[in-house]
Chain A
Amino acid sequence: MSVLLQPVDGLCTLDGGVPLMAALQAAHAAGSHLGTLSPRYPTLQAALDAGDPLWCSRLVRVQVQTAHGWLAGPLAPRAAMGPDLACFAVGTGARVQAVTVRLDPAVAWVSQSFDGVERALEAARTLVTRGCSLVELRGLRASPTLTAALPRQGAGRGFTLVEHATLRPLDVRHTLVAAYEDVASMWPAHGEHHLAALDLHRVVLSSSQEERPFPTASPTPPYLRDVFAPAPEDSRA
């Protein structure tokens, strides 16, 4: 099990079975981040099996083992080499061997509380516009706290800068990808929830609650379900 940080390329390569908290800690200690302060799942294999939107959004290259051999895309950004088969295989049960995800610098941090989710969302979007790739909200709908990693000091102008942010566990039981505009109506009035910005348009809303507070995703069509059948020797098959 290994975590390989490649700061020159802005990448981190890890085994599917490596504990995600260890990967986050390694990145954090190097002044970088992997897009979240919470591992969300015990391992990347578990996160990808669940199709976790946050981890899926940071994939650069996935090497998976299927019944028909391994497959992987090139370790090159935005390659135009047909369908992205390896990333398509995520969530099909294929065994993940190695995954390369984006690793971004964190030269400083922002932490700030808001008196409502609407204003917090506006602030989150502003920070994403300025190039921040870790922007999270956590807490109650009426009083969420924003935490963001800054790729340069100037990106945090107008916000409260702090030197460090703390990694925290988060037991993700339910997730939903939503547009910024839709979050205010979806964020439940009760209980603590978690939001991570994916990009300028979308966020992922997560909950640790037992009951499902968000709609579910559509199931995989049956004619595609078997394309990436796990290899027979895979104990999880």
Chain B
Amino acid sequence: MVRRKYRSQAGIVLDILEALASEGPMPATRLTYYANLPYDRLKIILESLVEEGLVERDENRYYRITDKGLEALKTLRETRKLLESMGFRL
């Protein structure tokens, strides 16, 4: 059996929101470390998170998590247990 490791879009979003919630505002370049993603791919996801109102960008190009983002993070943390129990990796 071929065993491959997958990382879901949900897992990436969870990593980004958790990093911003625990480490505070940071630029995209530093977020690449926490999200474990290349810069160009991270930027695409960050833009969609900004559009959804989960993350905002200030004038110094630092990203910070919004109240809506904190609510979303809480939901994702709750769902993580359920998804992991079904074999999905976040």
Q: Determine if chain A interacts with chain B.
A: no
Which residues of B are interface residues toward A (Cβ below 8 A)?
none
